[in-house]
């Protein structure tokens, strides 16, 4: 499987994962306190500066965000039918800023660190019998690992359509993507059960 992690050793890499996730949560809450584009615009600039300072080739850095940004634009274009343009602009800036900061956190944190952070955060809930912390950490780690894999499969299916001269349509792309993803999910679940990693 591919990983979204980018090798590095800067300050962002040394920060505890809990601090990164907490900061991301605080940013998400803070951005929705402002109804004008100035502050979200500054957040976009800062997020972009951090993300593009990680050393990724520009093409790869943009490629990682392309599908998410297109989703944001699609949702925002639909919102224009019911919402004033200024509010839509603020919405685009908020979501773009969150996307850039989240991508930065993901690129500077290993899957193992994510799992440890989520497991540690879930321990208090485990003590009162609500969840199993180890299982939550495992599930979160699998989600992080699956994101680049799903994107890679999507690109492979799209390129196969183009190579065969088929018209690229969402339905013809999503259906095989879902089938392949569910098939691999079943294989991973079977491997997890075989190793006794669930139900500690």
Cβ atoms within 10 Å, residue 96: 22
Q: Where are the alpha helices (DSSP H) in 32-169?
A: 38-51, 58-79, 85-107, 111-127, 133-163
| CA pseudo-torsion sign 112, 148, 67, 60 | positive
Q: Total structural domains in the chain?
A: 2
**Residue environment code for 54-82, b if the CB has 16+ CB neighbours within 10 A, otherwise e:** bebeeeebeebbeebbeebeeebeeeeee
Tell which of 109, 129, 163 closes a domain: 109
In a shared domain, residues 96 and 118: no
Residue 54 sits in which domain range?
A: 11-109
In a shared domain, residues 59 and 87: yes
In a shared domain, residues 19 and 95: yes
In a shared domain, residues 105 and 17: yes
Tell which of 83, 109, 135 closes a domain: 109
pLDDT value at residue 3: 61
Q: What is the pLDDT along the chain (200 residues), one digit of tens a residue?
A: 456 778 877 888 888 888 898 899 999 999 988 888 899 999 999 999 999 988 888 888 888 888 788 888 888 888 888 888 898 899 999 999 999 999 999 889 888 888 888 888 888 888 887 878 887 777 777 777 777 777 777 778 888 878 888 777 777 777 787 887 777 777 777 766 666 665 54
Q: Which two tokens stand for residue 169?
A: 């349509």
Can you tell me the distance from the alpha carbon of 185 to that of 124, in angstroms, rounded to the nearest whole number?
Answer: 29
- Supply the pTM of this predicted model: 0.73
């Amino acid at each position: 499987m591919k990983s979204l992690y980018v090798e590095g050793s800067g300050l962002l890499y040394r920060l505890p994962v809990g601090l990164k996730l907490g900061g991301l949560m605080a940013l998400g809450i803070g951005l929705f306190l402002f109804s004008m584009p100035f502050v979200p615009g500054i957040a976009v600039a800062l997020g972009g500066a951090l993300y593009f300072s990680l050393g990724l080739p520009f093409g790869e850095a943009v490629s990682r965000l392309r599908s998410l940004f297109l989703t944001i634009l699609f949702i925002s274009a639909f919102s224009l039918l019911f919402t004033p343009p200024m509010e839509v602009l603020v919405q685009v800036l908020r979501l773009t800023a969150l996307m850039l900061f989240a991508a930065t956190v993901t690129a500077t944190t290993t899957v193992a660190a994510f799992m440890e952070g989520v497991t540690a955060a879930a321990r208090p809930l485990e003590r009162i019998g609500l969840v199993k912390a180890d299982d939550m950490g495992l599930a979160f780690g699998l989600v992080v690992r699956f994101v680049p894999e799903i994107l890679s499969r999507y690109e492979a299916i799209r390129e196969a359509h183009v190579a065969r001269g088929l018209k690229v349509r969402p339905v013809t792309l999503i259906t095989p993507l879902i089938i392949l993803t569910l098939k691999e999910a079943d294989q991973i679940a079977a491997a997890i059960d075989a190793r006794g990693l669930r139900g500690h």
